[in-house]
Every structure is written in structure tokens, then in C-alpha cells.
Amino acid sequence: MAPHAEIDSTSANGDGHPIANGAATNGSSNGSSAGPLFTVSSPNVVYTDSEIHSKYTYRTTKVSREPSGKYVATPQETLYDFKVDRKVPKLGAMLVGWGGNNGSTVTAGIIANRRGLVWETREGPRAANYYGSVIMGSTMKLGTDAKTAKDVNIPFHDVLPMVHPNDLVIGGWDISKLDLAASMDRAAVLEPTLKAMVRKEMAEMAPLPSIYYPDFIAANQEDRADNLIPGSKASWAHVEQIRKDIREFKESHDLDKVVVQWTANTERYADILEGVNDTAENLLKAIEEGHEEVSPSTVFAVACILEGAPFINGSPQNTFVPGAIELAEKHGSFIGGDDFKSGQTKMKSALVDFLISAGIKLTSIASYNHLGNNDGKNLSSQKQFRSKEISKSNVVDDMVEANSVLYAPGEHPDHTVVIKYMPAVGDNKRALDEYYAEIFLGGHQTISIFNVCEDSLLASPLIIDLVLVTEMMTRIKWRSQSTGEAKEEDDFKSFNSVLSILSYMLKAPLTPTGTPVINALAKQRGALTNIFRACVGLEPESDMTLEHKLF
């Protein structure tokens, strides 16, 4: 078995015929040598062989409050230059917890898509797809057809020159030494017929040893921990080993870049302590001294930051303590988190946004879950559950605070979250939600939702999206343009180290210090869409349809 084995990007389909998969260019589908799906005809957009240059006017409204209590709204305009590297790199994704439900499902899914597999189920044949992926499964309005006046929508993946997931090289770490085929069986997520078709390739992959600090993970996980880097608390040797693993993975597969993502178990929250993890300097010192409040995920984050590999936290714990964020900003390394937003929480952030925007006052939200996978087993420990409870409970705050008509300052709906471990239901998580609201003239409305979520099949496409968007952000540079100032080529800089653009895929989105957290799903999707549009010189999406109403 080869550790972090590459999924061969030229392999056979179910009939034994080879399918060649090359990296996509701007707007081309996987394996196509064609050029971009679209170009922008504008004096503000310039294409070169290697880059897309665009000038973009960002329009906002600055609001000031007069002594009388009235507001004055002043339109503002800022001119930005964007520069996008068009070269699509050979990209590796290293998953912490590669042998878990999500890691094994992602790996099998990429193999199935690459080979174009079709398999039988009791409901009939099913074909590999990337449903559930924003990047691969959704579209964006490009504009209005010049002849028919109908909307023209294009695949989201074709807006910018992005890596295709079929071309990803997958590897990673796990505290369990099972190969990926055995991990796939243990997860019990996929159909037996599909597992049989990918088993040979999966059996050739085995995770690298990982770090395991028993105090941060539920005690019921100890029986899985047989693939460990020596040491039970933070150490500089752990940081160096992880950095070495990333370098060797990159070199052995001739990769241009590697993105690392935590898909492992939920940890307990780390205490934020002065002199320990409050600054970058103190955090590095705490790791060297083996302080008990430095978590495994924070050690991985520090290693990735120092190695220049973007790191995304897909679990709810506070991996990015203040010292880790400061370290990322100091080194210009991208980080993003926290906690995959796949099922119940995504529904909650959409429904609460809708109800409050409709002028309906939510007064109570009760969320109950039971699940039987290993995530549920780990969350049956109170300390780990508390991490998840926090990430699930804060998703409505910004929407409530935005409506001063319905809610007084500091007023919030009652909100409770319950999670129970029920082994019998496996990966088919049951999520029950009740929304209780006040309506017109003292009336009430109750909405109850019963949501059965195949947990790993919802989370896996988000893992792919996070990798693809994060990589794309490493190729985008920007600068503000002030009239009359000469601008040099080296004035361009990267986005902030904290990638808030990833918020759509995460329950508890991390944002740069001093900036608001946005949980409203429509706003998160709008930010992702419109930043991509700005990079090719297009205005934000507009639903005004004035072109139809004025003529």
C-alpha cells in the first residue's frame, strides 16, 4: 500500500476504456483543450496568455447619523484592479482524517467521477456526479441573450480558470491505519456495487500517521488510534513532521500546490490563555513547551501556515486561536473555517433569513439531531458536543441583529441544539427543527421540518468546493486604484489571510479581525458569485430586470 497514493488522472471507465482528464482552462470542461467558455468585451478587461486583468468599480453606501437621529446615505465608489493567473495548477488536497467517513467518500467519489462510473442500486442505475457542489453543480447568470432577452446561465466552474476535481491528487493523515478501501467499508456510506468498482484503487491508499492528543478527542475514539506520530501533546517535532509530510507529498506527485483540510473528529474547545495562544509568538512558544491547551488541529494549522499551504478547518472547534490567526497574517498564508455547513444548518440559515426578511419574528428555534456515524459517537462526549453546539447556535445572530424593527438591541430567539448518538441510523442523520414565530396581531406560526441527511454525501462536495475556491484565491491579486496615482506592478496583493469568501460552505465562518460575520445564506452566495464576477470585469448580479420593465 502506498501512503497518500495518487488517484491516477488517466484511468479506465467501467468498460475498460481510458478517459484522459486534463486540467481545465478558463471556462473549459475537464479534459477539453478548448478556450474559455466566454470572454468579456470591455475596455476594462484585458486578456493575456497568462492573466486576466480587469478594472472594477465597487459601489457602496456610507451612512452617517445626524444629532437629530436621522441618517445621511452617501454613495461611494472605489476603483479596483484585479489580476487573475490563468494557469491551472496541478493541485493536491491533503485531508486530516483521510480515513474517516468524509475522506473515504470524497476519494471514492472522485475516482467514480473520473472513470465515469455507473452502478446498479435497488432503485435502478446511478451515475457519478458532483451534485451538492456549488462549484460543479450550480450555475451563474452571465447576462441576457442579445436576441431572445432570456437569461444566459453558465456553470459556476466556468467563470474563472479553476482546477477540476477529477484532477485532484488526494492524500492525508489519519489516526487509524486502515487503508481507504477498509475505511470505506467501515464508514458504510456507499452502495456495495460502487464500492466494488473502486475497491482496487482505494486499497492501494493508506493514510500517513497523525497526531493524537487524548484530552482533545472523546475517549471512545481511542480504539481507532493505531497510526500515530509519537507524542501525546503538542511539540515542535509534530510541526516539523507535518511540514515534512506536505513537502514529500508535493514532491512525490510533482504538485504545484497543496491545500490541507481538517476533516477529522470534533475536538473540545481550547481555552484562550494569555501568554499561551493569544499571540503568534506565544503560540509557537507554547507548542515548543508542549502546553496542554494546544490542540492537534492548531498544530496542523501552524505547520501549514509555516509551510505556505492553505489550511481549512471543517470541524467546529476553535482551531484558529488568536495566535494562529496572527501567525497566518504574518506569513500571508490562507486559512478558513469553521465546520462544514451541509444539511440542517444550511436549511436553518436559509429559512431564518427568509422569515426575518419577510417581517416574521422568530421567537424560538429548537434543533434535534440523532446520527449513528463516528462523528455522532465522538459528539456523545459533552466537551466535543459543546464545540458543535456553539457552531450550530450562532448561525442566526447576524440576521436577527439586522432587523431592528422585530428585535430590540440584544434580543434573540430562544435557540437550543440537541445531538444524540444512535448507531442504528448510521450515516443517515435525522434532523428535526421547530421554528416558532410571532405574526400579525399576536398570532403565531410554527414550522416543523424533518430532514434526513446522508451526512457524508452532503459534506463531501463541500470539501471539494473549499479546496477549489481556496486554490483559486491563491491566483487572484488586487489593488485599489486612486485617480492621479502611478501604480507599479508590485502594488498588487493577495486577499486577507482569513478567507471569508468560504462562508457559504461553513457553519461558523471565520472573518478577518474587525469585520462582521455573515451567516445569511443569500449574502454568502452573493459574495462568492460577485467576487468571481469582479475578477472578469462583470457587474454584480442584478434581479431588477429593468431591461424588461422599461420597454
pLDDT tens-place values along the chain, 551 residues long: 444 444 444 333 333 322 222 222 333 344 444 578 999 999 999 999 999 999 999 999 999 999 999 999 999 999 999 999 999 999 999 999 999 999 999 999 999 999 999 999 999 999 999 999 999 999 999 998 888 888 899 999 999 999 999 999 999 999 999 999 999 999 999 999 999 999 999 999 999 999 999 999 877 778 889 999 999 999 999 999 999 999 999 999 999 999 999 999 889 899 999 999 999 999 999 999 999 999 999 999 999 999 999 999 999 899 999 999 999 999 999 999 888 888 778 888 889 999 999 999 999 999 898 887 766 666 666 666 566 566 566 778 888 988 999 999 989 999 888 888 888 888 788 889 999 999 999 999 999 999 888 889 999 999 999 999 999 999 999 999 864 455 566 689 999 999 999 999 998 888 888 888 888 888 999 999 999 999 999 999 887 877 777 66
Does the structural domain 344-454 have CATH classification 3.30.360.10? Answer: yes
Cα distance between residue 481 and residue 540, in whole Å: 19
The DSSP bridge pattern shows strands 2-3 and 118-121 to be: unpaired
Residue pair 218/384 in contact by the 8 Å Cβ criterion? yes
pLDDT at site 266: 86
228: DSSP letter: B
Cα distance between residue 479 and residue 489, in whole Å: 10
pLDDT at site 51: 96
Cα distance between residue 433 and residue 396, in whole Å: 14
| Residue owning grid cell 479596483 | 80
Residue 150, C-alpha cell as written in the block: 432570456
Output the DSSP codes for 354-419: HHHHTT-EEEEEEEEEEE-SHHHHHHTSHHHHHHHHHHHHGGGHHHHHT-TTT--TT---EEEEEE
Cα distance between residue 113 and residue 13, in whole Å: 9
Cα distance between residue 120 and residue 138, in whole Å: 26
CA distances from 163 to 90, 104, 332 (A): 8, 21, 22
List, by residue number, the catalytic residues: 339, 388, 429, 507
Residue 530, C-alpha cell as written in the block: 460577485
Of 116, 107, 164, the closest CA to residue 17 belongs to 116
* Residues in Cβ contact with 192 at an 8 Å cutoff, skipping those fewer than 6 apart: none
pLDDT at site 451: 87
Residue pair 428/380 in contact by the 8 Å Cβ criterion? no
**Domain segments of the chain as ranges:** 89-130+161-340+457-479+487-534, 344-454
Of 342, 352, 338, the closest CA to residue 387 belongs to 338
Cα distance between residue 55 and residue 81, in whole Å: 5
State whether residue 148 is helix, strand or coil: coil
| Residue owning grid cell 506592478 | 489
Fold annotation for 89-130+161-340+457-479+487-534: Rossmann fold (3.40.50)
Number of CB atoms found within 10 A of residue 375's CB? 24
